[in-house]
Amino acid sequence: MSAVLRILGWKAVGLRCPDHELSFDKSSGQPYKVTLIQMPNGTGKTTTLALLRAALSGVAEQWAPEQVRSFQKRPPTTDRGYFELRLLLNNRRVTIVMEFDFEKGRVVYRTTRSPHGQQSGYRPPAEFRRYMQPDFINFFVFDGELAEKLLDRTETNAEVAVTTLFQINLLDEVKQVVMDYWERQTQGKPKEQKGLTRRQNYRDKLQARLSYLLREKARLERERDTRQTELVRYRERYERELHRLGELDRQIQDAESRYQEATRRVQDEASEILDRMRDPHALSATFAKEIYDFKQGLDRVKLPESAAREFFEELANESVCVCGRPIDAEIQQVIRERASRYLGSDNMDLLNRIKRSISEAVGNDLNLASQEVAEMLRNLERLMWNEQTTLQELQSLRVQADEADPAVKAASQEISRLETELAEIEQSLARFESDDDSLDDDRTFGIKVIKERLERAEEQLAEVHGTLTLKRKRDVLAEVLDEANRRARVSIAEELCMLTNQRIRELMPYNNISLAHIDKSLALEGQEGGSVGETLSVAYAFLATLFNQSEHQLPFVVDSPANSIDLEVRPKIGELIPKLTSQFIAFTISSERDGFVDALARANPTEVQFLTLFRKNRTSWQHLVSESDVCIETTDGLCVTGKSFFFRFQEDDEEGN
């Protein structure tokens, strides 16, 4: 069944934002396609977004009293607060109310929907529950930085979104149920068997060790990714700073390319030598002589012979020899015994092949191949010397650049620091791949080794429990679930990648950028060549593909969609967003209007609702309201509807949120 979620409006009273009520529905009952809510800094955007997320997810019931009280108006005017969210779920109205009791530090939910009427508690329709998980809501109620984070390989947002939406984590949950079941079965068994406790403790210790290693590895990988991102940034900065040095920069670039060329030649030569050394006779003239002598020896003793063992074995079965004399039982026995001195015909073929190969490889000059290798090695030495010289030249120029400009030096030092740290991290990470099985558990870092030990410990424990068969079934099931998990991730990621690219081609036919694959983050094809605008467009297209499909359509509620985007990129994103979703609600500040709002309104002229919400008693703002503006006033807030006021409004200063 499809699930279409729309937001019709909300109302807030007695909370940290100004009291206000916003309605996004038109006379048709359907909401505007685009709603822009302009709220100056300090008006409570963050509070409103948090309330919205809490109303959608039902999490506030679990909030601690201090967290509940953090939503109370400052200074407090009442010990009660109220937030009402009006939704349209599959064209049916649903209202979720949160009642704040600041004295008790508690939030109580009420839900109104047909045909049930008003009910206490958080009770959205069952078919919407999967879209209203706290983790998931963050992907359609988000701040403007989410799109960038989706592309950041140190973040895992893309993976979380896909996993949550398609409920792949259910497979992990099922696996956990299987594991828990086995655990219960083994725990319930009698413990009088010898060594049971010891084995259980050992198994637990290995499990703890494995969890520690996996955690540690993941932590180091995250650190590595962060450092790599930093390194790229500093290298770019270094290049930029260097560029300002003119002639010196040109000299460094020349030296850099000479060094790279020298390195490439060393690698090529080493690669060729390695291949030549795979011929044992080329590695050493002694080996050449040995195999040559072997061949000569075979020739001398006439091996292989012209007759194969099979000939004599057949002859032994005959009654008359090839020479015409009769073969009796005694002679038959002698022939059979002596037949074993002869090689079989297959072995003869092989020996002939070996002899031929030796002749072809070694030929008449036993030293030729090894002399060739020796010459190649001398050349390698020369090339390595050249590589070293070019490196020294490059380093010397870099030192000059460092001395010429402190900014270059600073970037250069950061690069050195990051390279050192990265090398250390890589070294630490390599320990987890180790096969070394010789050390005790506490000193073993190889994850595969600890897994194998754990597997053996579990087998031994299962033997004691008499649950070996059950354990094997558990393992098969766990393996099936892991494989299903893997396949689901791969096929969903591929499908999403294809659909996103399809959407990109439709929306941005002249762009040359596309999604390469979806892993933890989004990886772009030709990312290096893509502008910020293009890459952000891809991230938005990905979100739209996720949230607006035939089976579900969700709104986008975005805080400051343009704040982190450069002015020149804004029109591109502004034009794109309305095409991606059927409801887009954005919280903006006045400085975001330039480029972004104009483009957005141009792309969607009749469907944009403009709202401006601000605190009362800010005279500079209140004076802007004219009699012709539609204005709703509350105890501490003013909400003005209309494009004209929206564009007239100007923030004069900023307060913290």
Partner 1 sequence: MAAPFRILKAAREWFRDLRGKEGSFRTDFDAFYFCFIAGIAANRKMSVKNDDTAELVDYFPERYGPRRELLVALFITRELQKLGISLEEKDAMNKAISALVNPHSPSFLSDDGVREFNKYAHGGFEVLQEWFDDRPRTLPVFLRAFKNKLDAHVAATAAGGAFLSG
Among 24-32, 178-186, 272-280, 611-619, the segment contacting partner 1 (CB under 8 A) = 272-280
CA separation (Å) from 27 to 24, 32, 481? 10, 10, 50
Contact segment (CB under 8 A) with partner 1 among 141-149, 341-349, 573-581, 638-646 equals 341-349
Q: Is 296 in the site for partner 1 (CB under 8 A)?
A: yes
Smallest distance from the beta carbon of 232 to partner 1, in angstroms? 20
In this chain, which of 3, 4, 220, 277 binds partner 1, going by CB under 8 A?
A: 277
Segment near partner 1 (CB under 8 A); pick from 45-53, 379-387, 403-411, 571-579: 379-387
Residue 143 CA to residue 158 CA, distance in Å, equals 15
Q: How far is the CB of 422 from partner 1 (least distance, A)?
A: 15
CB of 517 to partner 1, least distance (A): 21
Return the number of the residue (277 or 488) whose C-beta is nearest partner 1. Answer: 277
Q: Is residue 351 within the footprint of partner 1 (CB under 8 A)?
A: yes
Among 77, 119, 260, 271, binds partner 1 (CB under 8 A): 271
How far apart (Å, rounded) are the C-alpha atoms in residues 572 and 569? 6
CA angle 613, 617, 619 (to 5 degrees): 90
Interface with partner 1, residue 395, by CB under 8 A:
no
DSSP string, 572-621: HHHHHHHHH-S-EEEEE-GGGIIIIIHHHHHHSTTSEEEEEEEETT-HHH
Find the binder of partner 1 among 280, 336, 415, 634 (CB under 8 A): 280
b/e map 326-350, b = 16+ CB within 10 Å: ebeeeeeeebeeebeebbeeeebee
Q: Give the separation between CA 127 and CA 478, rounded to whole angstroms.
A: 29
Residue 434 interacts with partner 1 (CB under 8 A): yes or no: yes
The Cα 214–Cα 17 span in angstroms is 44
Out of 30, 67, 229, 284, which residue is the one contacting partner 1 (CB under 8 A)? 284
Name which of 297 and 466 has its Cβ closer to partner 1: 297
Q: How many residues bind partner 1 (CB under 8 A)?
A: 59
Site stretch for partner 1 (CB under 8 A), options 189-197, 202-210, 298-306, 586-594? 298-306
CB of 258 to partner 1, least distance (A): 18
Interacting residue with partner 1 among 337, 349, 495, 654 (CB under 8 A): 349
Do 260 and 394 meet the contact criterion of CB atoms below 8 Å apart? no
Q: Which of 207, 221, 173 is nearest to 447 (CA)?
A: 207
Strand, coil or helix: what is 28?
coil
Q: How far is the CB of 321 from partner 1 (least distance, A)?
A: 22
According to DSSP H, which parts of 15-117 are helical? Answer: 45-57, 65-69
User: Rounded CA gap, 207 and 199, in Å?
Assistant: 12
Residues 6+ positions from 144 with CB-CB distance below 8 Å: 558, 559, 560, 561, 562, 563, 564, 565
Report DSSP state, residue 635: S
Shortest reach from residue 238's CB to partner 1, in Å: 24
One residue of 77, 78, 119, 286 binding partner 1 per CB under 8 A: 286
* Beta pairing, strands 92-101 & 106-113: antiparallel
Work out how close the CB of 361 gets to partner 1 at its nearest, in angstroms, rounded to a whole number. 6
Q: Which of 203, 281, 489, 618 binds partner 1 (CB under 8 A)?
A: 281
- Return d(Cα 57, Cα 141) in angstroms, integer: 11
Q: How far apart are CA 575 and CA 596, in angstroms?
A: 8
| Closest separation in Å from C-beta 277 to partner 1 | 7
Rule CB under 8 A: is residue 368 a binding residue for partner 1?
no
Task: Give the binding site for partner 1 (CB under 8 A).
Answer: 266-271, 273-275, 277-281, 283-284, 286-287, 289-291, 293-298, 300-303, 341-344, 346-347, 349-351, 353-354, 356-358, 361, 373-374, 377, 380-381, 384, 430, 433-438
